[in-house]
Structure 1
Amino acid sequence: MASPRSLTERADAYRLKVVRERDLILGALDDARAAQETVLDELLTANKETVFGREHGFSRIRDADGYRRAVPIRGHEEFSPWLERVHANEKRVLTGEEPMAFFASSGTTGAEKTVPVTKGFLQRCFLPFYFAGFGPLAEEHSGLLTRDDAVLNLWQDPHSRSGRTIGGKPHLGPSQLNYGKLGEDLAVGLGNRAPWSDLPDRFRDASPWERSYLRVRIAAEHDVRGLIAVNPAIAAALPYQLGVWTPRIIQEIHDGTLGGRAHRPPDPGRARVLARLAERNETLRPADLWPELELLLAWNTYVARLYLPALLEDYGAGTELLPAPIGSSEGPLAIPVRGLPAGGPLVVTSCFYEFVPADDALTPDAPTLLVHELRTGEEYHVVLSHRGGLYRCAIRDIVRVTGVYGATPVVEYASRAGTVSTAGERVRESHVLDALLGACAESRLAICNVMYRALPDGPAGHEAAIAFRSPPDRDTTGRFTRALDAGLRRTAPGYDAARRSGALAAPVVRPVAPERFFTEWRRRVETGERPPRVKDRLFQAAPDVWDRVTAPSHAPGPERAHEQNRAYGEDGTLG
């Protein structure tokens, strides 16, 4: 695809592409069943002569029932025997086309994934979803398309260092894919032609934490109007990062340096303005750096629905939160559309979807429901297939059906798979999140972050480590805890039964300083994890994470967080 000659032409072409792909998907939603039949037929036809296709009789499959009989449900890790052959450069194992790369993701289980990326997968499955997912942005904030430096894209970093498979193919996150090198110029992504996108070569080996600083440092001298986070943990961490970086940013702008090296002419005037703002607010906020910010694009469900409303205060009163498209390294799920506050209709033209009720076990022969069989208000495990080499793959994410668009279910990301259960209660993440929302409303407390687990010692019970936006007193904490318990009894039948029988104690709430969660996020990014991969996780069983978040810590942080820590006490818990 030829690159448009000017920024205006490129903006117009991008807008037209986004609208076209969006309209094609929306046009299929009135007959989701037919769209799904087409997707299934295409993936079977494209890959029937592969090793996997022959082993599972793709050429004999005529419909969804035949497909379900021939292919068991598998987790990604169960595709290893075939993926090992693909990585050894054997041809036509999972896909008829040669993979050009592999998407990486730590996923729900923590095990590294390698998802084949073929040209057909990109053109037929991924790119239509990718473009259509920015439909509301392109139509409602079209001014962001007219300047390369109007958008700070903290999700994508196509110039960051990526890995290789043992077969030598790129192994990278979807946010690292360099579409320009693939000839897809319009897919390069908003903000990825900005001055901060491709950092000087001397920073090529910088850690993800330092790369984030360098990009924000450059953007601090530009009129940024939109910020793309996708992963809401990135949006939540930015005010904390600015607290850490404020003195450095101001000094470097004053001196005209980037990472301690000469970068552009010194700007003492801009530095003085920022210094005054930092003194007034105790730290720089996104709203201070970019007062005309109009858009934050991020997922707004799961844990983020607890903290995003209050977080927007740091981004400015004029900043609109737009929901990001929903997908994973395994494949697309849903696109946002105007009028829906969260989630979106399933992308029935990209993947073949099956669903298992959230309370049922994900076994190889688990009965599944198709798109047209879903019920509003219910939650489901997602099983997806596409022509990129995933067949009935259980991605271990749970979605909630919130309505219908045309004849297609509207879904939002509800939670990860898995339960907390010490007395047979089988509490899911969505049970806890719904109960937390109710407890926040009743106690008038706002949450910055939270993690939850079964009590490791003592009587059977659960505990939550919660960073409240303002430290509650003991009476308020007690009121919140009672509301949480009552909410869990309403949302989780097994929990209510265990509480009534006396088999389960009331939950324990441990208030901690917000800085503790941000310090943990920082630790992971400083040790090499890219920010798009460091996501919120409600159910957290790792003892070392609990120790770091709830035990005494002397890690440096922004002054505003230190002030709040004093309200909590020296050990980070409510004093």
Structure 2
Amino acid sequence: MAFQIINSIISWFLKKRKHQIELFLKYPKDVQEELLLRLLHTAKNTKFGKEQSFSSIKNYSDFTKKVPIQKYETFEPLIERCRKGEQNLFWPTHIKWFAKSSGTTNAKSKYIPVTDEALEYCHMKAGKDMLCLYINNNPKTQLFTGKGLRLGGSSEVYKDNDSYFGDLSAIITENLPFWADFSSAPSMEVALMAEWETKMEAIIDETINENITSLVGVPSWMLVLLNRVLEKTGKDNILEVWPNLEVYFHGGVNFNPYREQYKKLIPNPNFKYYETYNASEGFFAIQDRNNSKELLLMLDYGIFYEFIDMKNYDGENSKTIPLSEVKLDKDYAIIITTNGGLWRYLIGDTVRFTSLNPYRIKITGRTKHYINVFGEELNIENVEDALKLACDKTNATITDYTVGPIFMQDKKSGGHEWIVEFKKAPENLPYFTELLDNALKSINSDYEAKRYKNMTLGLPKIHNVEKGLFYSWLKKKNKLGGQHKVPRLSNSREFVDELLFLKKS
């Protein structure tokens, strides 16, 4: 009875936010324009604000002329000074938190400033909105009669001078409101354990006898946890362990390659999947409808959005447009200006708008994660769609993969080399390869043109590698857990060669 009362009270509290969401749905242009001017006014007396003449900026046109587009590398000197204790450089309030983010396996670590404003009005607000939207769509939910299992990254926080850095999930865990901590598992002590494999076992020990009603985490790592739960309990599926489980909130990587595996692990046709789109730089979008593959762009988190048409992409020299000028079904790179002190910051993600009223998006990839060695312009969306088709037709399932180029030599054509770890391999790998190739041709006309008579691109070369190879590779690089991701597509052979070497050793 007590849990039912708690469920009702928390649900009522979270539902109230829906009215504020409806405001930016109705007036998106006004909300974004007012937000930009407010951010500029707030930071006009910072070092960056004075250098870029924030006080003289009256509109979006002024903003684009006076403030250059920033990549992390161009903004890093100011961030490093801030980490060493200098303040009022690019945001007026004291900054002590920095989210350490490396993205893919080889990237240099980035330290993204997390201001108190970004923490409260972006990341924390988004966490509540995620629940708000789910509860409004599912009024009979029993979410808060149990606990949500959260699976964060390497969650130890480190001190450096007068600042702190760590995985974003660690920073959020350190700052959770009491009610969120009360309704979550594992305990903070376990959630903040640094060593990934030890933490995994501790999470399982602490939660297998709890009433878990929701899951929160990155699909690839949550899958590892859930399979380990079944190994430890001897159960056939996750609902035998947690019968009241009703929703999985996921983000960080494309869910499509994992969807069928989750359906087998959680065999309930009414089970809900809710996707989120967040990063160390901010929280951007949330699935706002049941059974949807679109995400609602959240416009009142202290983030002003700009976009670059990928057909005209030229990095920091690109021409940008505001949200009010985007079109449907075009790929855009995202530029953000935030209450975390980032100004016209290129985050490296690409999205496509599926609706303009309200603004809903699909994540289509990364500005750097594509293969275009031969003019084939193959992006992550092309690859994932083709993989799904080949897997469906061969009853195969994939755990992980990466793709790199085979460069032309002498008169030999080039190609794409695939390292694929199957959970269930196809009986006939050449047939799977043929299906994948044909699907890519049908999806991407540039790829099809380069494949013509094998003149530029030959048939894909696929290695079916042993189970656990990608896990071993990530472990060797100390990249287990959390937001660490396997790079899917690359214009270099670095990842492919490393995995092939590890396979032989």
Q: TM-score range by the shorter chain?
A: 0.7 to 0.9
Give, as a single letter, the amino acid of the residue that structure 2 aligns with 1:241: R
Deviation at 1:103? 1.8
CA contact (8 A) 2:249 2:276 kept: no
SS in 2 for 1:390: coil
Is the Cα contact below 8 Å between 1:326 and 1:335 reproduced in 2?
A: yes
Supply the distance in 2 between the matched residues of 1:205 and 1:447 (Cα, whole angstroms): 29
- Residue in structure 2 matching 1:344, options 295, 309, 327: 295
- Give yes or no for the alignment of 1:409 onto 2:396: no
Q: Secondary structure at the match of 2:332?
A: strand
Q: What is the alpha-carbon distance in structure 2 between the residues aligned to residue 239 and residue 9 of structure 1?
A: 30
1:185 counterpart = 2:178 = yes
The one of 145, 149, 169 aligned to 1:152: 149
- CA distance, structure 1, for counterparts of residue 458 and residue 174 of structure 2: 56
In the alignment, the residues of structure 2 paired with residue 395 and residue 300 of structure 1 have an alpha-carbon distance, to the nearest angstrom, of 14
> Structure 1: 5+ residue runs without aligned partners?
1-5, 250-273, 554-575
Amino acid at match of 1:185: F
In the other structure, the counterpart of 1:430 is 381
CA displacement, residues 528-574 of structure 1 (integer Å, 9 cap, x when unaligned): x462122343125424542267x257xxxxxxxxxxxxxxxxxxxxx
Shift of 1:432: 1.6
Contact 1:356–1:368, Cα closer than 8 Å, also in 2: yes
Q: TM-score, normalised by structure 1?
A: 0.78
1:219 aligns with 2:218: no
Distance (Å, rounded) in 1 between the aligned partners of 2:18 and 2:208 = 33
Partners of 1:434 and 1:73 lie apart in 2 by 32
Match of 1:163 in 2: 158
The separation in 2 between residues aligned to 1:340 and 1:69, in whole angstroms, is 42
On the 8 A contact 1:372/1:409 being kept in 2, the answer is no
Change (3 A) 1:536 1:315: farther
The answer as to 2:118 corresponding to 1:121 is: yes
Equivalent position of 2:91 in the other structure: 95
C-alpha displacement at 1:442, in angstroms? 4.1
For 2:196 and 2:204, locate their aligned partners in 1 and report how far apart those are by CA, in whole Å: 12
CA-to-aligned-CA distance 1:450-484 (integer Å, 9 cap, x gap)? 2211126754110222233422223xx22322222
Give, as a single letter, the amino acid of the residue that structure 1 aligns with 2:170: Q
Q: Which amino acid aligns with 1:547?
A: L
Q: 1:70 corresponds to which residue?
A: 66
Q: Structure 2: how far apart are the matches of 1:189 and 1:95?
A: 33
The answer as to whether partners of 2:440 and 2:447 remain within 8 angstroms in 1 is: yes
Matched-pair contact (CA < 8 Å) for 2:332–2:351: yes
Alpha-carbon separation, structure 2, partners of 1:205 and 1:292: 27
- Cα drift, residue 214 of structure 1: 0.6
2:424 paired residue number: 470
Letter in 1 for 2:416: H
Q: CA deviation at 1:383?
A: 0.8
Deviations 1:279-314 (A, max 9, x none): xx6xxx534432443322213972x20222233212
SS at match of 2:426: coil
**Range with greater deviation from structure 2 (422-431 or 394-403):** 422-431
- Cα distance in 2, alignment partners of residues 513 and 530 from structure 1: 18
Q: Is the 8 A contact 1:153 1:190 kept in 2?
A: no
Paired residues of 1:46 and 1:387 also in contact (CA < 8 A): no
Question: Which of structures 1 and 2 has the bigger CA Rg?
Answer: 1
d(CA) in 1 for partners of 2:340 and 2:252? 28
Q: Contact 1:325–1:343 (CA<8 Å) still a contact in 2?
A: no
Q: Secondary structure of 1:134's partner? A: helix
Post-superposition shift, 1:516? 3.0
Matched residues, percent identical?
22
Tell me, in whole angstroms, the C-alpha distance in 1 between the residues paired with 2:312 and 2:213: 45
Question: How far did residue 44 of structure 1 move?
Answer: 0.2
Q: Which residue of 1 aligns with 2:463?
A: 510
Letter in 2 for 1:355: F
Q: Over residues 31-63 of structure 1, what are the superposed CA-to-partner deviations in whole Å (9 max), with x where a residue is unaligned?
A: 211111011011101001000001111111111
Is 1:384 aligned to 2:336, yes or no?
yes
Asked if 1:440 corresponds to 2:391, the answer is yes
Structure 1 residue 518: Cα displacement? 4.2
Q: Show structure 2 runs of 5+ residues with no match.
A: none
- How far off is 1:8 after superposition? 6.8
What is the CA–CA distance in structure 2 between the aligned matches of 1:181 and 1:423, rounded to whole Å? 48
Cα deviation, 1:317-354, whole Å, max 9, x if unaligned, reads 36724223211111121122124612312111221111
Match of 2:256 in 1: 305
1:235 and 2:222 correspond: yes
Match of 1:569 in 2: none
Query: Are the structure 2 counterparts of residues 436 and 205 from structure 1 closer, same or farther at C-alpha, using a change threshold of 3 Å?
Result: closer
> CA 1:107 to 1:189, structure 2 compared with 1: closer, same or farther past 3 Å?
farther
State the TM-score, normalizing by the size of structure 2: 0.87
CA contact (8 A) 2:251 2:278 kept: no
Code of the residue aligned with 1:126 in structure 2: it is: H
Secondary structure of 1:238 counterpart: helix
